[in-house]
């Protein structure tokens, strides 16, 4: 491999008529994509620099081409979250040292995008290809630089693992600022496959998503919310998507009742539960066939990807047998560290291996299998008992009448913290008191939410499709309940 964009242009030369993108019901060929890349490259040539380029426009073929043009020009691409406010975005762009910013606000350029100076002091791109972000605890996003080498290694794994190549169709559900796009957009284009781009405004539109699946993708990677929307949409029609070969579950725990529905919807698929984070990219995969979809209450993390090293750390040191601790991972795909942050989450061992302290709690069973327990920071003490909020959510979500759930901890003068669960039910057969009994059978008493609020409307979601606990908590605290 020479470079990401060079590989794409090579495919355009060798197989110009092969489809590269699926966009709004039509194919865009590699030749057309190459044309868009060249135009974007021209625009970029008018704004020379070595600092990163911030790309904040919504997903489109033009934006995909612009990112490829930046990569070709050896300029790092900052992909911020589209949810970022103007001030936060300006601050982020400045912190990342982006000399230029690309937006979709004007169409006066060859690429159809507006490219302008930011005025920020440039920070040389070096060998960094992408600058992704993760939410920081204080609210300001942390910048995660990923080098050409680390992303190349990841793409090579993804292409081999999922058999991506010419004639293979991949569905891209995630917004471009997600690391998931390294697999479903960038690795696919590099390997000569076709990417169907899902637009953010249709992300929860059941009819639209079903339509995209009828376009016959072979590989579908998405967060559980996508599969929930699809499963609900086809439940009555009984529609099936036998062409899908790989279903990649990522980003969150997929509740067992939802998993149980998937083999019928994707009867030809092998399923993969992938664990990873922006800092390290995918680190574990657990692959299984349809008949095993709901055999586990919680899916195991599975095997580490090739080259991935892991440790489980407790207060007493490394865990060697069964037990629970924080997962540390070192992957061939990882960042060297956040930009402008102390390295507290990264630990370099005497042998030179740098581990990322994931903040994820995992347990190792007697069988040696690892399972995600929750976040170290989602542990709260209720009446002196340590409770994992994610455990509580998982238990509630396993009730067959529960569509989705968010559990938050709110301060309580007596208990320290008390748990408040907001639950969307599938039918009015579910009551809060019934759900309490379900919890009582599966959780210690302190972990049973003090308040179980049953609603019929959808819960708020973050841009990643997870239930927005922060917003739920904010509303609860504002409401004084």
Binding letters toward other proteins, positions 7-46, x by CB under 8 A: ----------------------------------------
Does position 478 bind other proteins by CB under 8 A?
Answer: no
Does position 406 bind other proteins by CB under 8 A?
Answer: no
**Least separation, in Å, of the C-beta of 361 and other proteins?**
23
- The binder of other proteins chosen from 313, 410, 450, 476 (CB under 8 A): 450
**Least separation, in Å, of the C-beta of 435 and other proteins?**
10
Residues in binding contact with other proteins, number by CB under 8 A: 18
Unique residue bearing structure tokens 């073929």: 61
- Cβ contacts of 25 within 8 Å, gap of 6 or more: none
Cα–Cα distance list, 480 to 337, 410, 412, 455, 467 (Å)? 40, 10, 11, 18, 21
Does position 166 bind other proteins by CB under 8 A?
Answer: no
Output the six-digit token pair for 192: 């000569």
Of the pair 313, 451, the CB lying nearest other proteins is at 451
Identify which of 371, 323, 8, 327 has the alpha carbon closest to the alpha carbon of residue 155: 8
Of the pair 13, 455, the CB lying nearest other proteins is at 455
**Least separation, in Å, of the C-beta of 161 and other proteins?**
44
- The binder of other proteins chosen from 310, 363, 453, 462 (CB under 8 A): 453
- The binder of other proteins chosen from 436, 442, 470, 473 (CB under 8 A): 436
Does position 432 bind other proteins by CB under 8 A?
Answer: yes
Q: Which residues, numbered 63-102, are part of the site for other proteins (CB under 8 A)? A: none
Does position 439 bind other proteins by CB under 8 A?
Answer: yes
Does position 445 bind other proteins by CB under 8 A?
Answer: yes
Identify which of 8, 63, 31, 28 has the alpha carbon closest to the alpha carbon of residue 190: 8
Does position 389 bind other proteins by CB under 8 A?
Answer: no
Does position 449 bind other proteins by CB under 8 A?
Answer: yes
**Least separation, in Å, of the C-beta of 480 and other proteins?**
12
Does position 260 bind other proteins by CB under 8 A?
Answer: no
- Paired strand residues for 272: 248, 287
**Rounded Cα gap, residues 122 and 415, in angstroms:** 51
Q: For other proteins, which stretch binds (CB under 8 A), given 12-20, 39-47, 438-446, 471-479?
A: 438-446
Residue ranges in contact with other proteins by CB under 8 A: 383, 414-415, 431-433, 436-437, 439-440, 445-446, 448-451, 453, 481
């Amino acid at each position: 491999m020479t470079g990401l964009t060079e590989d794409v242009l090579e495919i355009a030369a060798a197989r110009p008529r092969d489809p590269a993108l699926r966009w709004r019901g039509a194919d865009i060929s590699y030749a057309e994509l190459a044309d868009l890349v060249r135009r974007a490259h021209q625009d970029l040539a008018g704004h020379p620099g070595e600092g990163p380029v911030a790309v904040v426009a919504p997903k489109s073929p033009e934006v995909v081409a612009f990112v490829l043009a930046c990569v070709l020009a050896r300029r790092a691409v900052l992909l911020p979250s589209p949810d970022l406010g103007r001030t936060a975005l300006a601050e982020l762009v400045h912190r990342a040292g982006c000399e230029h910013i690309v937006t979709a606000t004007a169409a006066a350029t060859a690429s159809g995008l507006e490219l302008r100076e930011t005025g920020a002091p440039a920070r040389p791109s070096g060998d960094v290809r992408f600058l992704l972000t993760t939410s920081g605890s204080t609210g300001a996003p942390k910048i995660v630089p990923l080098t050409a080498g680390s992303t190349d290694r990841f793409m090579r794994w993804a292409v081999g693992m999922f058999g991506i190549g010419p004639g293979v169709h991949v569905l891209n559900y995630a917004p471009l600022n997600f690391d998931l796009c390294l697999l479903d957009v960038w690795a696919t284009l590099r390997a000569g496959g076709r990417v169907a781009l899902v637009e953010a405004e249709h992300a929860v539109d059941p009819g639209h998503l079903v339509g995209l699946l009828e376009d016959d993708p072979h590989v579908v990677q998405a967060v559980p919310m996508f599969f929930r929307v699809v499963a609900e949409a086809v439940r009555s029609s009984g529609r099936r998507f036998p062409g899908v070969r790989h279903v990649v579950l990522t980003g969150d725990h997929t509740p067992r009742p939802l998993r149980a529905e998937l083999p019928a919807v994707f009867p030809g698929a092998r399923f993969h539960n992938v664990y990873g984070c922006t800092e390290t990219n995918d680190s574990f995969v657990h692959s299984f066939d349809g008949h095993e979809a709901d055999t586990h209450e919680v899916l195991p993390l599975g095997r580490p990807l090739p080259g991935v090293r892991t440790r489980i750390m407790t207060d007493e040191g490394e865990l060697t047998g069964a037990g629970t601790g924080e997962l540390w991972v070192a992957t061939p795909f990882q960042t060297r560290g956040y930009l402008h942050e102390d390295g507290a989450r990264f630990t370099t061992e005497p042998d030179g291996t740098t581990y990322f302290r994931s903040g994820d709690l995992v347990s190792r069973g007697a069988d040696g299998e690892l399972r995600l327990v929750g976040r170290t920071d989602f542990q709260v003490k209720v009446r002196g008992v340590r409770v994992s909020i994610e455990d509580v959510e998982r238990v509630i979500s396993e009730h067959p009448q529960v569509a989705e759930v968010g559990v938050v901890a709110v301060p309580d003068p007596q208990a320290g913290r008390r748990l408040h669960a907001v639950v969307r039910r599938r039918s009015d057969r579910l009551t809060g008191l019934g759900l309490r009994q379900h919890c009582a059978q599966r959780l210690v008493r302190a972990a049973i939410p003090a308040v179980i609020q049953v609603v019929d409307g959808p819960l708020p979601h973050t841009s990643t499709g997870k239930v927005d606990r922060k917003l739920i908590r904010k509303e609860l605290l504002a409401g004084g309940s």
